[in-house]
Amino acid sequence: MSDLLTREEYGAISDNLTLPRCSFVDGSFRKGNGGVLPTINPATGEIIAELSAADASDVDYSAQKAREAFDDGRWSKLHPASRKEVLIKLAKLIKRNRRELAVMESLDSGKPIADCEQIDIPETINTIKWHAEAIDKLYDKTAPVGDDAMSLIVREPVGVVGLVLPWNFPLLMLAWKLAPALAAGNSLVIKPAEQTSLTALRLAELAMEAGVPAGVINVLVGDGPSVGQPIGLSNKIDMIGFTGSTDTGRRFLRYSADSNLKNISLECGGKNPAIVLEDADQLDIVAEHIVSAAFWNMGENCSAGSRLIVHKSHKEELLSRVEAHLRDWRTGDPLDPANALGALIDSEHFGKVSSAIDSATGKRLCGEKIDGKFITPTIFDGVKPDEKLAQEEVFGPVLAVVEVSSTDEALAVANMTDYGLAASIFSANIKTALRASRAVRAGTVTVNCFGEGDITTPFGGFKQSGFWGRDNSLQAHDQYCETKTIWIDLSDRDGDHIA
């Protein structure tokens, strides 16, 4: 979307940011009742801002305001063309403020500024525009019920939707859920991750400027026990859209059972395989994709290709090429556009990733820890398929290499986890690649590349990687809608058809 600036120019933007200080409720910033929550720069350990945190009483107040907004129709009953116009204006405002948002995101999350500028912000804008344009292109249906009746099958917004978001792609994951939820006409109560609240608060402010009515978007600052759990247990909230760990996702299913049986859509973890078969060719290109899959966003990515399942005939050459490509992946100051990897999100997560590295039993080929904040790309060879490093999500820049002797073995190893979010198949034979793609139990399978599809393709997982809904594509709208049947009797009392 734009050329990158220099480190000094990004620093100047950083120095002049006006940061939000509290939650955004019913159209304005509102101090919470939950004390002070510091926002820390992962790369420096410095406090960026001290936010007024919310608690259960703030959740209840926000849900009530969202309910009032939904029930009186200020957004839910607005003409579809008008909702589209407002969301397109929001996309334009994000574009106008893109540099501010990119720097805010980098400071808050430790993400490389180049990724924020060139991936996260442009995709956020595209997501909102795409779902806005879909608003007046989604048609309801009739059923084939004969001449005696007419059956209308209509879609209606769920009502009040709680969105609980991760810290790895704060703004983009918000857009993935907010855009279809708003397009459908819902009101929202949003909990960004406590580590990364700033851009969600700024987006809510921009949404008001774009014309989203007060009460429709509410953003609450706080941690899981203070805000996430009350959202899950609220009887005023009709549905939850969640992205995060599988363990936390389970909690929201329990919250639903313990409250009003609200709909729950979960996008959870992954232990995603990159499968290099015996007939794979162009190994230098394969290596480039492997590096991107494993280390993009510091491996803090639910679809990261954290397992390399490679045929023994290719392993040595492929790993040599992978290590060569890693020379271009510098780790350091996130505001320096020359760096491809930034800092891990916080000290707790650094410790978790460090523990996974320290307990690994394979041969470490590369990787080091720096200042308790950074971990350079780390590769372990000789990992067994049933070892912890090949089974559990690390969520850091760590690649486990598993050697196999056949396609059947590769596919068996690929499916040997509790997860099923994404996978990549590398093969020069399209029939082999397609058969392998069908055999892998994953929601997205890419062939001869790493990726997640795009805005037009549904994203979500099998097994413990997901539950019920899908992000992206028109299917994303389904989870934020209820389906209603309206049956109209067209027969007269004598059973003759009405003319």
- With cut-offs at 50, 70 and 90, classify the pLDDT of residue 495: low
pLDDT greater than 50 at residue 451: yes
Name the CATH code of domain 273-447 (choices 3.50.50.60, 3.40.309.10, 3.40.50.300, 3.60.40.10): 3.40.309.10
pLDDT greater than 60 at residue 496: no
What does the pLDDT average to over 318-334? Answer: 98
Q: So what's the pLDDT on residue 498?
A: 46
pLDDT greater than 70 at residue 118: yes
Asked if 267 is an active-site residue, the reply is yes
Q: Are 226 and 53 in contact (CB under 8 A)?
A: yes
Q: What is the pLDDT of residues 343-355, one digit of tens each?
A: 999 999 999 999 9
pTM score > 0.85 for this model?
yes
CA dist., res. 153 & res. 147, Å (int): 17
pLDDT greater than 70 at residue 259: yes
Mean pLDDT of the chain: 97
Q: So what's the pLDDT on residue 206?
A: 98
Q: So what's the pLDDT on residue 78?
A: 98
pLDDT greater than 70 at residue 1: no
- Domain 7-268+465-484 is of which CATH architecture? 3-Layer(aba) Sandwich (3.40)
Task: Say which of 100, 117, 267, 393 is annotated catalytic.
Answer: 267
pLDDT greater than 60 at residue 97: yes
Q: What is the pLDDT of residues 157-211, one digit of tens each?
A: 999 999 999 999 999 999 999 999 999 999 999 999 999 999 999 999 999 999 9
Report domain extents, the chain: 7-268+465-484, 273-447
- With cut-offs at 50, 70 and 90, classify the pLDDT of residue 492: confident
What does the pLDDT average to over 225-250? Answer: 98
Task: Say which of 22, 116, 268, 302 is annotated catalytic.
Answer: 302
- With cut-offs at 50, 70 and 90, classify the pLDDT of residue 95: very high
The token pair at 13 is: 């933007």
Q: So what's the pLDDT on residue 499?
A: 44
Q: What is the pLDDT of residues 19-75, one digit of tens each?
A: 999 999 999 999 999 999 999 999 999 999 999 999 999 999 999 999 999 999 999
Nearest to 23 by CA among 226, 252, 284, 172: 226
Placement of tokens 């041969």 in the chain: 363
- Tell me how crowded residue 153 is: count the other CB atoms within 10 A of its CB: 12
Range in 306-320, 344-358, 422-436, 481-495 the model is least confident about: 481-495
- With cut-offs at 50, 70 and 90, classify the pLDDT of residue 494: low
